[in-house]
Amino acid sequence: MASDRRGTTLTVAPAIEEVLSKYRDQYDCSLLELSTSGPMLLVFLRHFGCMFCRETLSDLHDSLLEMERLDVRIVLVHMGSEEDASTLFARYGLAPLSRVSSADRMLYKAFGLSRAKTGEFLCADAVKRCGQALMSGHSIGKVQGDLLQMPGVFLINGNRVLHSFRHKHAGDRPDYVRIAAILQQVESI
């Protein structure tokens, strides 16, 4: 997979298909089954105590109607327990969404999501975003998962990654609806 933030249409490598087949959501569907049943936005979260993780959940909640209109399924990838995920996601109205735990971070690694370097935490943009997230009511909580794991977003349809968004820093804030809308652009080509 390319590491280009702009996202290019790529075929999912056989190794990725193998990884997708190993991870199952709370409804016992594999990510591979989900990816072949229709377009999905695979959202990799940071640890549950991260203010940016909580901001992401809030942003996703706000985009649910538009995602439904676009017919794009949101699937959440996290590093916590199912119990903690169920509780946290319910707080944001996201309990019904498919979710999988990758506590071993192998799914993150399969999609090329790395651990943060010092500059990805201490850069001016990340510090500014901390203030914005705090002002919006997204507090810091207990670390549950790898504190340094970077998040990412992938629009997948069938065996193709249509778009990838790899965060420049922990507080980088993607436009989830714009990413999902790329599906319509690709289908019209």
Q: Quote the pLDDT of residue 171.
A: 74
Q: Quote the pLDDT of residue 183.
A: 85
HSE-CB for 120 with a 13 A CA cutoff: 15
| pLDDT higher than 70, residue 108 | yes
Percent of the chain with pLDDT over 90: 54
57 compared with 117, residue with greater pLDDT: 57
Domain ranges of the chain: 10-187
Q: In sequence order, what are the residues at sequence separation of 6 or more whose Cβ sits closer than 8 angstroms to the Cβ of residue 65?
A: none
| Mean pLDDT of the region 16-29 | 90
Place of tokens 């019209």: 188
| pLDDT higher than 60, residue 52 | yes
CATH class of the domain whose range is 10-187? alpha beta
